[in-house]
Amino acid sequence: MSDTKDIVVPGEVIGKGIDIIPGSGVIREGEELISTLVGLKNVSGRALRVIPFGGVYIPREGDTIIGEIEDVSFSSWHVNIGGPYSATITVSEAVGEYIDLQKTDISKYYKIGDKVIAKIKDISTSKSILLTMRGPGLRKLEEGYITSISPSKVPRLIGKNGSMITSIKEATNTTITVGQNGLVWIRGKEREDEIKAAEAVAMVNKDSHTHGLTEKINEMLGDKNVQKKI
């Protein structure tokens, strides 16, 4: 994965032919396909895309994210989801019960500074983002520890079919939720477990583009387990 030929820079011609479909990070100029980002070239079938090494979070519909309540208004909350755009969540999408808005101060449900797991329901053309908390696992986060990684490295942290995140969870005995916006919520019985998991997450963030990352992580977690037993 770390071969130079796989690493592309903006403006580099990375493919040719009209039958190739440009994905994210790729544009077409005539027959040539041009990378627009610094990242790894990725071919799957006819689609060609570039997986970026960095950058801000670009929201997509259906993403599960971790956000922070920024402001409370009459019938909705404003949520900071990282990246250039902030999001809104309405009372009906956030609270299961009936609320008489005239009589209730909705900050009793979520107040400024609260962290929530939510799903992006809709993105309008003018980039106003609507969130929903109706769905399994979508809730307010209590306790635990939040750390952040680059949003482009989220797929690497999760791994194939969740292999990477599962191995971190199992080795550290923690519950971890990864938001597509790069925020990671870690909850363990012991504080040390949480710290250890956070260290592993930070390592994925740092070395995400290198060979043998899974082994490195396993080694790191394995070593610490041995130390604990002694």
Partner 1 sequence: MYKKRFDNRKFDESRPIEATISVVENATGSAHFSLGNTKVIAAIEGPKTLHPRRIQDPERGLVRCTYDMMSFSVDDRKRPGPSRREIEIGLVMKNALQPFVLIKEFPKTVVDVYTEVYQADAGTRCASICAASLALADAGVPMRDLVASVSVGKVGDKIVLDLTKKEEDYEEGATDIPISMSGRTKEISHLQLDGCITLDEFKKALDVGEKGCQEIYELQKKVLKEKYGGV
Nearer to partner 1, 53 or 109 (CB): 53
Selected from 12, 70, 114, 199, the binder of partner 1 by CB under 8 A is 12
Q: b vs e for 91-109, b when ≥16 Cβ sit within 10 Å of the residue's Cβ?
A: bebbbeeebeeeeeebeeb
Q: Which residues inside 193-212 make contact with partner 1, applying CB under 8 A? A: 209-210
Which tokens is 122 given? 């809709």
Nearer to partner 1, 30 or 45 (CB): 30
Nearer to partner 1, 5 or 103 (CB): 5
Selected from 15, 55, 155, 159, the binder of partner 1 by CB under 8 A is 55
Cα R_g (the chain), whole angstroms: 20
36 makes contact with partner 1 (CB under 8 A): yes
Selected from 14, 20, 52, 131, the binder of partner 1 by CB under 8 A is 52
**Least gap, CB of 31 to partner 1 (angstroms):** 14
End-to-end CA distance of the chain: 37
Query: What span, in angstroms and rounded, lies between the C-alpha atoms of 153 and 134?
Result: 26
> Given its phi and psi angles, is residue 112 left (phi above 0), alpha (psi -120 to 50 degrees) or beta?
beta
Query: What span, in angstroms and rounded, lies between the C-alpha atoms of 61 and 131?
Result: 9
Q: Which residues inside 66-105 make contact with partner 1, applying CB under 8 A? A: 83-86
Taking CB under 8 A as the binding criterion, the range among 15-23, 55-63, 154-162, 167-175 that sits at the site for partner 1 is 55-63
**Least gap, CB of 133 to partner 1 (angstroms):** 23
30 makes contact with partner 1 (CB under 8 A): no
Nearer to partner 1, 55 or 144 (CB): 55
126 makes contact with partner 1 (CB under 8 A): yes
Backbone angles phi, psi at 116, to 5 degrees: -130, 150
Taking CB under 8 A as the binding criterion, the range among 52-60, 88-96, 136-144, 156-164 that sits at the site for partner 1 is 52-60
Which residue ranges make up the site for partner 1 (CB under 8 A)? 2-7, 9-13, 25, 27, 34, 36-38, 52-56, 58, 83-86, 126-127, 152, 209-210
